[in-house]
Amino acid sequence: MRFPTRFLWGAGTSSYQIEGAAAGRGESIWDTFCAVDGNVLGGDDGRIACDHYNRYTDDVRLMSELGLGAYRFSVSWPRVMPDGKRLAPEGLDFYSRLVDELLARGIEPLPTLFHWDLPQALEDEGGWRSRDTAERFAEYAVVVHDALGDRIRQWTTINEPFCSAFLGYGSGVHAPGVREPGTALVAAHHHLLAHGRAVTALRAQARPDQVFALALNFAPALADGGSPAHLEAVRKWNAIHNRFFLDPVLGRGYAEDVLADVAHLDALEPAIKDGDLEVIGAKIDWLGVNFYAPTRVTPIDDPAQPSNAPLPGLRGMNVLPARGPLTAFGWEQTPSSLTDLLQWLHSYCDGLPLVVAENGASFEDKVSPDGHVHDTQRTAYFASHIRAVHDAIESGVDVLGYVAWSLLDNFEWSMGYSQRFGLIHVDFDSLRRTVKDSARFYSEVISRNAVPAG
């Protein structure tokens, strides 16, 4: 099952999850969140993580040995601007050195400007509740682009604003731990405004060959029945999870059904100011598609009853337990949902090019006595999902690349170090790296630009 010529194969990480070296940056909301008992499994934090900041040359060497064509990483806003506003040149220099190392190894840098680690100083001033944060983000984006734009072609503004806004300000299971559904909608709007302002500012100074993107996480709804009530449950989930961010970015504004679903919170529409939707709809060159699993939904009898879904304002539907086989995170493995998602996006986004910007699975990996990590379940997950991408391409979907999540076992947010997603095993005591069997499988896929048929 061969892939198109120049198909981009990569792996991804994020700054707070791997870098460590906390003394060399400003405080982030995740530092504050992790310091509160009960917020993170095991009471862990990302202050050391994988110590990638000090070990990046060895990590880039491993990327090269695996044959990666691209490395998707995020820039730490509090490392570049400890207070969210003023530049720390030594922080920016780390990313300059990382980019040079990647290019020297023939690996394309794919930076993401924000992957959830907001400077705590900005949170103290309102965080994503405040429109001012969108302005600060655009200024930060310009500073990073000024320093690295001579060497980087492809830029992503924000990764998964769904998680940062809805889980951070709605359900409170992510930093900053706020549990206010209305506030989550305001924060989501300001994330989108930040994206639009950044794209506009960066295009004003970009080279003609530079491209700009946004990465959204999608979880297509699967119903346990076909009644009108079940179809309405599917619509509600897809509206808030899968279309809330997508529609405005495509220049369509917030859909009427989305506005109706959250109208009782009286939060989103008052946050939208004149000109916002035009800014948010700034042209992107490709859409990052993050996919891990579908979500099973069902209607509930009382339409006014709050949903158990981690989404602001939803009523009249619940999320069902996933069906096996499951990952260690409890996520369902249904690769056909990835094919369906890519086909739907191709149609819904009028042929906008897509990049699978995150896809992967956690399993309980251990280094065997022979010194290897025989993660057969992850290998099977990657094989089936890469085939699903191939199926989408064969049906006419314009998919430019695939980025495996993640390069390294890392700090997995509120789950601490309990979940291992990496192609490379990290011993969190010694920080020793061990290449897993799944990484060797992925390396073979890359070298052949093809995946074995299932």
Burial class (CB in 10 A: 0-12, 13-18, 19+), 88: middle
Q: Is residue 315 part of a domain?
A: yes
**Tell me, what CATH number does 434's domain have?**
3.20.20.80
Q: Output the pLDDT for position 313.
A: 87
Closest CA to 234 of 307, 184, 330: 307
Closest CA to 155 of 92, 194, 198, 96: 198
Q: Output the pLDDT for position 454.
A: 86
pLDDT block averages, 10 residues each, the chain of length 454:
98 98 98 98 97 98 98 99 98 98 98 98 98 98 98 98 98 98 98 98 97 98 95 97 98 98 97 98 98 97 86 93 96 98 98 98 97 98 98 98 98 98 98 98 98 94
Q: Output the pLDDT for position 301.
A: 86
The SS3 of residue 216 is strand
In contact, 31 and 39? CB cutoff 8 Å: no
Q: What are phi and psi of 325, to 5 degrees?
A: -75, 150
Residue 358 known to be catalytic: yes
Residue 65 known to be catalytic: no
Out of 27, 108, 332, 358, pick the active-site residue: 358
Q: Output the pLDDT for position 303.
A: 76
Q: Is residue 242 part of a domain?
A: yes
Cβ contacts of residue 188 below 8 Å, gap of 6+? Answer: 161, 162, 165, 166, 244, 245, 268, 312
C-alpha to C-alpha distance for 356 and 10, rounded to whole angstroms? 10
Residue 140 has a CB neighbour count (10 Å cut-off) of 23
Domain that residue 336 falls in: 8-448
Q: What are phi and psi of 35, to 5 degrees?
A: -75, -10
Residue by residue, DSSP assigns 12-77 as E--HHHH---GGGS--BHHHHHHTSTTSSGGG--SSSTT-HHHHHHHHHHHHHHHT-SEEEEE--H
C-alpha to C-alpha distance for 125 and 190, rounded to whole angstroms? 14
Q: Output the pLDDT for position 302.
A: 84
For the chain, what is the domain count?
A: 1
Q: Is residue 224 part of a domain?
A: yes
Closest CA to 422 of 362, 336, 341, 372: 362
Q: Is residue 348 part of a domain?
A: yes
Out of 19, 27, 123, 160, pick the active-site residue: 160
Tokens of 368: 């065997």
Q: Output the pLDDT for position 154.
A: 98
Q: Is residue 454 part of a domain?
A: no
Closest CA to 136 of 184, 214, 83: 83
